[in-house]
Structure 1
């Protein structure tokens, strides 16, 4: 439960802080004071296993010593000189080239995922042939809260509609198939419709997509989905723009989720885990796109905090550890164990309607009952807050709880986290 020191601070903040925090923050009512590895400590001294990894960002856990050392050393030397070259940036670019697929050999550096998504959209619009004046995206997608990112998925606010010119295709949501079909007898009909409505239209320039939609509930595509769509896009000249803000950097057990799913994107956006939670983002792509004179005019990839030395230092340290310690392999191993434990919970609790995931990224979908599959946000909220009181932090949104622990998790911590989660589900559903 929230202690008196936390309650006092939250009361002081309430006088001036605008509402609108995430559900997990609003429901949890915690003030975190410090973190080390997989453990967070609140202002009253209570400890929590962090199975949300910050905001799905702490690939190496909280305050990893090598990232702390890199940031501390850089902070004593230089913070910001706009987007000018600084010591070590060349080493980061070489590291990215080693970690990313060979064809993604050119990079622009930013500070947030949404900023890099907007840059990717500018590249597409600048290089698109005449007549290809429409973008495409997938339902249930999330690409940020900026205007261009919102327009992609038709996210209106208030009475203002800014759907723009984007075309939406079906995401591979097998548990809630919008076509009322069952996999595999469906023949992956959702992919066939994406092909027909997007990939084969002569006026679509690019499909912007999350390989595994995260905010939509960790929707893992079935075999055959991306194979159909990616090939059709390639055959019809539609660029593939992968939003790997959440999945990039090893979260799904390969450096890019696209690699595991057999997709060869033309542009990729990465951010959350790339610098272990420090603001940093990358737009990676084919040289002919990012170096095109139409897309690379003066200032095209510049912004106030782009290429800032602190972000570069944090990213070099984070990615260096991931490469050196072969943590993507560790993610696959731990992910297999976590999936096994979570599927056992799925078999025990009817209200845990679906469990899906890749690597160390899982979505738990809570429902009122297995037959109706009616979303149960109240149950998800109760599980989240109960788990927090028991010492486990998760990420909740609506009727979905997401789990994304740090790559440095050990098997004992994994079992402890699942045990607490099971206890929370038992209490919330009994």
Structure 2
């Protein structure tokens, strides 16, 4: 675990004349490492300003008690206090972590005791620019002193944000509605589909292993998550492109994309299907990346048969895969796109982007159709606009491709070293590591994945874990040396678990 750098630097704040830190929203004795007056701030893109971890004194693993709770009394006390009132049902990652995080800067998180961690989960794929990016903090601070909520009434900032979106998105996606969360924007897309569907087209296509949220409408599209099965009655299933565990027991490249052909058959032969909702890369199911040609084939079938194509890019949109939309990269041409997570660098915000002729149809846009209490609130717009301006100005989508290749190289090397890694896969800065008992049987090994996740956390690396897959999604602004160090820690964690 990395210890003390952030905590030590803020101790130094007590020794010099007072200045206001614009990013930390603190009044400090000297500028923190994110202040524009600090010489250590990397130009323009808020790359992490910490020293290389290999030079940090005191990299060590903190010992834990048998229950998994932190040894330190401060963290244990906080967890106990919270548990008295918190409803159960937390994520697997949170249950395993048993940490109390107090601060984040760039790619580095600091817990209540001052121990630091590289965040290779980017919050929850939300911190595209890292934690507390100074330009996003400044934009939120300015807006917080001006205006918070006028329902869905126009503001100058909203008009400017729409123009920014129009520059970044494909030309045919030129009409936008704003929301607060990923599930909410998926629900909005479903309402558009249902309100514009021809008579008799009352079913919606989805993919096995897809995930689209936990609200009631979205749950009808999800057939694998715990507790969702009883709601999955109004959708038509297609086979996901899960080549490592092909449900048809075929192999690439001789399979001929049979999984895609079965989806296109559904589209062509079931006249009651109005739309196909899909994740271009299936993130929650373990970063399942489709083979070349999969989405091109399905996209063409949807156009030929009058079926709307709805891309759920809540996790992938905004540049995460090395293109602003993963559907662009993979050959799909959606009619509607749902965007959230990293669009506002962690602030709750979502966008439904679509074709003008679709979203302007009277049946799709009755009064109030795209209005809700917090949808498109000025604070969210400020955070999203600042985030996307940095992405555009600093060409961070290009940087994601470069860093993604570097990360992919590290993961390929780990795959060569460790037999428990059945497959590593990904695009840009979104990668999955699938753990197995052995490569011959490909038996999923969730116990190994959880042990690697917790060991990596003890060593100073935060990842995301679900089932037998560890997901990596670091910020776009991560420095190369921190990416290398994160990969090194991950390799050490796998080595310790499998020794």
Distance 2:229 2:108 in 1: 42
- CA deviation map 1:406-430 (0-9, x unaligned): 0001110010000000000001111
4+ residue stretches of structure 1 with deviation over 4 A? 155-160
8 Å CA contact 1:200, 1:232 repeated in 2: no
Would you say 1:229 and 2:298 are equivalent positions?
A: yes
Q: 1:90 aligns with which of 150, 159, 166?
A: 159
Distance 1:200 1:224 in 2: 21
8 Å CA contact 1:111, 1:281 repeated in 2: yes
- CA deviation map 1:2-61 (0-9, x unaligned): 332111100111111111111111001111100100000000000000000000110000
| Counterpart for residue 263 of structure 1 | 332
Task: Name the TM-score, length of structure 2 as normaliser.
Answer: 0.85
Would you say 1:275 and 2:351 are equivalent positions?
A: no
Alignment of 1:280-291 (within 5 A): 280-291=349-360
Q: 1:152 aligns with which of 203, 221, 230?
A: 221
Distance 1:141 1:241 in 2: 13
| Counterpart for residue 202 of structure 1 | 271
| Counterpart for residue 16 of structure 1 | 85
Distance 1:323 1:402 in 2: 26
Distance 1:165 1:66 in 2: 44
* Cα offset, 1:198, TM superposition: 2.7
8 Å CA contact 1:167, 1:198 repeated in 2: no
| Counterpart for residue 355 of structure 1 | 424
8 Å CA contact 1:171, 1:190 repeated in 2: yes
Alignment of 1:285-304 (within 5 A): 285-304=354-373
Q: 1:158 to 1:313 in 2, by over 3 A?
A: closer
Q: 2:104 aligns with which of 6, 24, 35?
A: 35
| Counterpart for residue 206 of structure 2 | 137
* Cα offset, 1:154, TM superposition: 3.6
Distance 1:18 1:36 in 2: 29
Q: 1:385 to 1:99 in 2, by over 3 A?
A: same
- CA deviation map 1:104-149 (0-9, x unaligned): 0000000001000000000000111112111000000000000111
Q: Which runs of 5+ in 1 are unaligned?
A: none
Distance 1:393 1:263 in 2: 32
| Counterpart for residue 389 of structure 2 | 320
Secondary structure, aligned partner of 1:34: strand
* Cα offset, 1:199, TM superposition: 4.3
| Counterpart for residue 146 of structure 2 | 77
| Counterpart for residue 170 of structure 2 | 101
Would you say 1:308 and 2:377 are equivalent positions?
A: yes
* Cα offset, 1:158, TM superposition: 5.5
Distance 1:283 1:133 in 2: 21
8 Å CA contact 1:356, 1:363 repeated in 2: yes
Distance 1:186 1:200 in 2: 22
Distance 2:420 2:427 in 1: 22
8 Å CA contact 1:153, 1:168 repeated in 2: no
- Asked which structure has the greater RCO (Cα within 8 Å, sep 6+), the reply is 1
Q: 1:159 to 1:353 in 2, by over 3 A?
A: closer
Would you say 1:193 and 2:231 are equivalent positions?
A: no
Structure 1 window deviating more from structure 2 (316-325 vs 147-156): it is: 147-156
* Cα offset, 1:87, TM superposition: 3.1
Q: 1:199 to 1:337 in 2, by over 3 A?
A: farther
8 Å CA contact 2:202, 2:272 repeated in 1: yes
Pairwise CA RMSD: 1.2
| Counterpart for residue 454 of structure 2 | 385
Would you say 1:173 and 2:242 are equivalent positions?
A: yes
- CA deviation map 1:123-181 (0-9, x unaligned): 00011111211100000000000011110124687698222321000000000000011
| Counterpart for residue 47 of structure 2 | none
8 Å CA contact 1:155, 1:163 repeated in 2: no
Q: 1:160 to 1:407 in 2, by over 3 A?
A: closer
Q: What is the number of equivalent residue pairs in this alignment?
A: 430
